[in-house]
Amino acid sequence: MSIAGQILQLRNSLPQEVSLLAISKYQPIEALQEAYDAGQRMFGENHIQEMAAKAAVLPKDIEWHFTGHVQTNKIKYMASFVSLIHAVDSFRLLREIDKHAAKHNRTIDCLLQIHIAQEETKYGLTVEECRQLLATEPWRELKHIRIAGLMAMGSNTDDMAQVRSEFRRMRQLFDELKVAYFADEPSFAQLSEGMTDDYLIAIEEGSTIVRIGSMIFGERQY
């Protein structure tokens, strides 16, 4: 199916409260333009300079989400326009983003990335580290970032029961943190989880942003 066809079909099938983030990393400008022409406005990229280069030439009403690992020395290239940073996994990073956002007089929304999958990876906070960060670090003093929710990647496995239980734990953590720290903050509202292979399960388990790449654009052109 065409990119436009996939966008329209996905949009018609998603519940109203779930946002579709089109993951366009490694895709050429023309592919993003086709999705845009089909009405897509939220795009996610994994490399800051690639995102900045695309943002410079594509329409200005696109909402750019950064879904990759954040390198501190590159935050400056996205601080003026990024609308949501999905994979923040330390207080140090929150502080760096805050510093750059302040220079642009902006508040940047961030999600805390939780390491919930079985794979070994160096990215993401464990559930315990996340609780620890919120309990002990002075994040409320950072006036130019806003913690808008949580992000996770499910295990890369065919065992969908495993993936479901991971997403379920994410929802429980989200609800726990909401009550403990964000009860008065409606902006803490996003649970970013679910990709091409597991987005339907993610939605059933409470995802509010699904991040879909290959289903929309086909194979990535590395």
Cβ proximity to ligand PLP: between 38 and 102 the closer is 38
Cβ proximity to ligand PLP: between 7 and 23 the closer is 23
Rg (CA), the chain: 17
Contact (CB, 8 A) for 181 and 142: no
Q: Is 213 in the site for ligand PLP (CB under 6 A)?
A: yes
Cβ proximity to ligand PLP: between 9 and 214 the closer is 214
Segment 144 to 173, residues that bind ligand PLP, using CB under 6 A? 153
Please report how close the Cβ of residue 198 comes to ligand PLP at its closest, in angstroms: 9
Q: Which of 75, 97, 195, 209 binds ligand PLP (CB under 6 A)?
A: 195
Centre a 10 Å sphere on the Cβ of residue 92 and count the other Cβ atoms it contains: 11
Contact (CB, 8 A) for 57 and 77: no
Piece of 35-43, 167-175, 191-199, 200-208 that binds ligand PLP (CB under 6 A): 191-199
Round to whole Å and give the CA distance between 135 and 130.
9
Round to whole Å and give the CA distance between 193 and 205.
10
Contact (CB, 8 A) for 132 and 181: no
Closest Cα partner for 66 from 57, 169, 54, 218?
Answer: 54
Segment 72 to 131, residues that bind ligand PLP, using CB under 6 A? none
Residue with structure tokens 């366009």? 24
Contact (CB, 8 A) for 35 and 216: yes
Cβ proximity to ligand PLP: between 137 and 197 the closer is 197
Strands 42-45 and 63-66: parallel
Cβ proximity to ligand PLP: between 70 and 133 the closer is 70
Cβ proximity to ligand PLP: between 126 and 214 the closer is 214
| Amino acid, single-letter form, for residue 198 | D
Q: Is 23 in the site for ligand PLP (CB under 6 A)?
A: yes
Piece of 93-101, 120-128, 174-182, 209-217 that binds ligand PLP (CB under 6 A): 209-217
Q: Which of 196, 200, 206, 218 binds ligand PLP (CB under 6 A)?
A: 196
Q: Which residues bind ligand PLP (CB under 6 A)?
A: 23, 25, 46, 67, 153, 195-197, 211-215
